[in-house]
Chain A
């Protein structure tokens, strides 16, 4: 993981803890300047990069950004739109004009109901945090099968790995289709054994994704993967 301070010992800070003097430094995310001192506002690791001090949080809520691929769940249905739970502080809005079907006014429920899971993309986030989703695009669809799991937002990169290497290893090991949403929701589809194993791997990311031992634990888990067992 990039931390911007190669070779230096990482420092864990808690909210309110002084990081250092603010003179000559810029304040990044997860920190604020107070009385000539930069203090942490989140539990996380201090990061110094290009004269900017910030805190990489250990846990964080998903903040939607335009273009994000997400796994969302229908929370409310109106005549001409769906409100989607995007696992963040705000609900996403999917208007019928951005659905992949031709939807008549008042017929939204015939296409998707509460609890249905979709693969969508964030179309737009305005300054008032109104989030508009779209399902028009290659691969964007309703997910009719498989199961949805959660990983902390800050561990998504850990699950994907460098150039999606880790997630591809998982796909190969359990012979399942796996899609990682930017919102921390992971969709897994395959046979029952594969899904069960993938769930173990995702739980491992949840519990040990921040640890140095993660790679070794994942390799140990891979030895018990359904594909390895069959072979």
Chain B
């Protein structure tokens, strides 16, 4: 939604510029347990996005003023590496990373059983190594797998996925050109087993019908990504016998 002009985003044959169908997702791969120092970790590649998440804890919450007497706090730090885009990103926090850290923490708090660890903190670090639109969704998916890998109790896995609108047509999983020059973006965090939505943001405008179609695409994609997440977690412990 950052650009304007007559940028053509759909081909004459109805496919998108990268050859995908309207409801086709970019390829997703997930690997769990990639960081030996972390209690849980995961790497998600979603198209050209590469997101790494590490989970530490639960641990004593410091400073003590952030402690909650009845539950754990989830401390999320989302960061894009300076080399993750073609324009160098200035290292450190910025408005966007603070916003994404906050919405990610709130989404994860709704799936993690935080009441099991009062007064403690679960630290989630999300590092975007390569960005091509949809990094917050890739980050949420990676964080969810890392939390499960760390043995943190959760109601469900949380899947981040997005749909949007280009040239007045709803499409699933926007790539960089579609994100920059499209008309709307609808990233959501979905609990695939219960069908609940843990977070939802919308940039641009969608009609009710377009919104419903976008959500239909999102749920379909979430089911596909969920299978890949489960497979990644099972693959990590294959050969196990408890």
Contact = CB atoms under 8 A, between A and B. Distances in A.
Interface stretch (A7-15, A99-107, A166-174): A7-15
Interface in A181-216: 210-213
Dominant SS among interface residues on chain A: loop
B40 A14 contact: no
Contacts, number: 107
Nearest to B39: A59
A16 B154 contact: yes
B242 A14 contact: no
B239 A212 contact: yes
B170 to A, nearest CB: 28
A89 interface: yes
A90 B120 CA distance: 7
**Interface footprint category on A:** 35 or more
A3 interface: yes
A134 interface: no
Interface in B35-60: 39-40, 57-60
Interface stretch (B89-97, B98-106, B202-210, B226-234): B226-234
Contacts of A14: 148, 157, 229-230, 233-234
B40 to A, nearest CB: 7
Contacts of A45: 240, 242
B117 A61 contact: yes
Given A14-B233, A43-B233, A89-B57, A211 B239 contact: yes
A61 B58 contact: yes
A218 interface: no
Contacts of A64: none
A213 B239 CA distance: 8
Given A61-B57, A89-B60, A16 B192 contact: yes
Interface in A49-63: 56-61
Interface residues of B, number: 37
B192 A15 contact: no
B241 interface: yes
A12 B241 contact: no
Contacts of A61: 39, 57-58, 117, 151-152
Nearest to B229: A14
A23 interface: no
Given A14-B233, A57-B151, A90 B239 contact: no
B109 interface: no
Interface string B59-71: 1100000000100
B234 A12 contact: yes
B156 A58 contact: no
Contact of B153 (A15, A18, A128, A212): A15
Interface in A24-47: 30, 32, 34, 39, 41-45
A17 B242 CA distance: 18
Given A3-B242, A41-B113, A90-B60, A18 B151 contact: no
Contacts of A58: 151, 237, 240
5 contacts: A16-B191, A41-B155, A91-B60, A211-B240, A212-B239
Interface of B: 39-40, 57-60, 69, 72, 111, 113, 117-120, 148-157, 191-194, 229-230, 233-234, 237, 239-242
Interface of A: 1, 3, 10, 12, 14-18, 30, 32, 34, 39, 41-45, 56-61, 75, 85, 88-91, 128-129, 154, 210-213
